[in-house]
């Protein structure tokens, strides 16, 4: 049977694994992409990493995510990460929306989801002694600095931003800033020095701003309302961190450790608006210490509808909530095969089975 996973290695990661094997203690950073329901396919990997792989290899690790990736990384920093991930998978797959839904309705639903996920234990996620969570959000500037809740103004601002991004990522930076809510034991130094055109703000993660930061990180424009008045953060309207950092193309090479990146894709694009631009896929030194693990084409072909869960499913399945939830839960169950395959590979890493970036 073909492998359920695809593995890609940066050159520094390949050399280190060739010399030392795959050691949990070498993993310094775990990124988690935006992508909505696609992130559900990484449930098995999340449970294995934080329930088994890292359990006997204590060290400070940076868990950095945007949108559903931020929600996954917050779950990973609970005292019982496996229970938190199971709760997240159940809550996310069970979302239900009427035919005609407003951003206010979706926002209320997601707030309630996060309340149940955090379950009054947000302090665990913000103060984990080893696993330091960073949540990436986007703060609007220029035309997006304040839409005052006007849908037409919000749409116009994002159309202007998309037009700029079509020219260059640098143009997009005139509409958006990156705001990172980070564990206060970690000053996020590796992200503070400039590495792209986007201005950055850094805010200490706390119980007071955790839920709002998580909600903002997943607030898709025109689907959810912008989040405002986040404790400790600059004033403004906050949206989905994936708009700037969809696949998290960050300066990982600055860390001497390795990056273990469970991802739903076998490539990395910087921002959500770059999805249809293959020439913007990352191929630089930022990937040199990365282990990228993603579902193989053969694995995906065996899932319901021969694809990963995605946001379009809400429209495709319509009001057949039971059918969609059943198929998503099936995909979540299948994700355990990815974790099992990668665990076997880590025990006896065959570098011939791993492609290079």
204-207: long-range pairs with CB below 8 Å, 24+? 204/232, 205/126, 205/133, 205/134, 205/135, 205/181, 206/126, 206/231, 206/232, 207/122, 207/123, 207/126
262 occurs within a structural domain: yes
DSSP 98-162: -SS--HHHHHHHHHHHHHHHHTT-HHHHHS-SSEEEEEEEEEE-GGGS--TT-HHHHHHHHHHHH
Nearest to 250 by CA among 182, 299, 308: 182
- CA distance from start to end of the chain: 25
356 occurs within a structural domain: no
pLDDT digits (tens, 9 = 90+) for 112-133: 999 999 999 999 999 999 999 9
The number of folded domains in the chain is: 1
Q: What proportion of the chain, given as a percentage, has pLDDT over 90?
A: 94
300: Cα separation from own chain's centroid: 19
Helix, strand, or coil (residue 333)? helix
CB 185 within 8 A of CB 208: no
CB 246 within 8 A of CB 164: no
268 occurs within a structural domain: yes
pLDDT digits (tens, 9 = 90+) for 164-197: 999 999 999 999 999 999 999 998 999 999 999 9
CB 296 within 8 A of CB 2: yes
355 occurs within a structural domain: no
CB 110 within 8 A of CB 218: yes
Residue appearing with tokens 């590796």: 190
The predicted structure's pLDDT at residue 334: 98
**Is residue 236 pLDDT above 80, yes or no?**
yes
216 occurs within a structural domain: yes
pLDDT digits (tens, 9 = 90+) for 316-334: 999 999 999 999 999 999 9
Helix, strand, or coil (residue 56)? coil
Give the Å distances, CA to CA, from 226 to 67, 144, 151, 213, 299.
13, 10, 11, 11, 36
Residues, the chain: 357
Helix, strand, or coil (residue 342)? helix
**Is residue 242 pLDDT above 90, yes or no?**
yes
Q: What are phi and psi of 196, to 5 degrees?
A: -155, -165
Domain hosting residue 136, numbered range: 5-350
**238-249: average pLDDT:** 97
204 occurs within a structural domain: yes
Q: What is the CA radius of gyration of the chain?
A: 19
Residue appearing with tokens 């979302």: 95
**92-111: average pLDDT:** 96
The predicted structure's pLDDT at residue 151: 81
357 occurs within a structural domain: no
Between CA 135 and CA 162 the distance in angstroms is: 23
Tally: H helices and E strands in the chain? 13, 10
Confidence of residue 147 (pLDDT cuts 50, 70, 90): low
pLDDT digits (tens, 9 = 90+) for 10-45: 999 999 999 999 999 999 999 999 999 999 999 999
257 occurs within a structural domain: yes
Residue appearing with tokens 């709002």: 212
Contacts (Cβ under 8 Å, ≥6 apart) of 309: 37, 38, 40, 41, 327, 328, 331
């Amino acid at each position: 049977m073909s492998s359920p996973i695809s593995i890609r290695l940066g050159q520094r990661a390949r050399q280190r694994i060739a010399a030392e094997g795959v050691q949990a203690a070498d993993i310094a950073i775990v990124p988690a992409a935006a992508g909505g329901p696609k992130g559900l396919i990484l449930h098995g990997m999340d449970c294995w990493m934080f329930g088994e792989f890292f359990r006997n290899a204590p060290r400070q690790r940076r868990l950095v995510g945007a949108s559903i990736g931020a929600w996954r990384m917050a779950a990973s920093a609970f005292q019982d990460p496996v229970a938190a991930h199971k709760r997240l998978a159940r809550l996310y797959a069970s979302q239900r929306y009427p035919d005609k839904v407003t951003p206010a309705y979706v926002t209320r639903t997601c707030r309630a989801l996060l309340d149940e996920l955090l379950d009054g234990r947000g302090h665990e996620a913000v103060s984990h002694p080893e696993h330091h969570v960073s949540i990436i959000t986007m703060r609007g500037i220029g035309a997006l600095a304040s839409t005052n809740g006007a849908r037409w103004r919000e749409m116009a601002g994002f159309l202007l931003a998309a037009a700029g991004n079509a020219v260059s990522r640098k143009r997009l930076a005139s509409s958006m800033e990156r705001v990172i809510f980070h564990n206060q034991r970690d000053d996020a130094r590796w992200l503070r020095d400039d590495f792209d055109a986007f201005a950055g703000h850094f805010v200490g993660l706390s119980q007071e701003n955790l839920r709002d930061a998580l909600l903002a990180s997943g607030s898709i424009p025109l689907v959810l309302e912008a989040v405002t008045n986040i404790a400790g953060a600059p004033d403004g309207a906050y949206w989905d961190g994936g708009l700037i950092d969809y696949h998290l193309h960050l300066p990982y090479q600055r860390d001497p450790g390795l990056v273990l990146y469970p991802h739903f894709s076998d490539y990395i694009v910087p921002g959500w608006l770059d999805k249809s631009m293959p020439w913007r896929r990352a191929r630089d030194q930022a990937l040199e210490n990365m282990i990228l693990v993603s579902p193989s084409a053969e694995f995906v072909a065996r899932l319901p509808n021969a694809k990963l869960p995605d946001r379009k499913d809400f429209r495709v399945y319509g009001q057949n909530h039971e059918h969609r939830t059943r198929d998503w839960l099936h995909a979540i169950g299948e994700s355990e095969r990815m974790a099992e395959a990668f665990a076997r590979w880590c025990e006896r890493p065959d570098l011939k089975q791993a492609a290079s970036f």
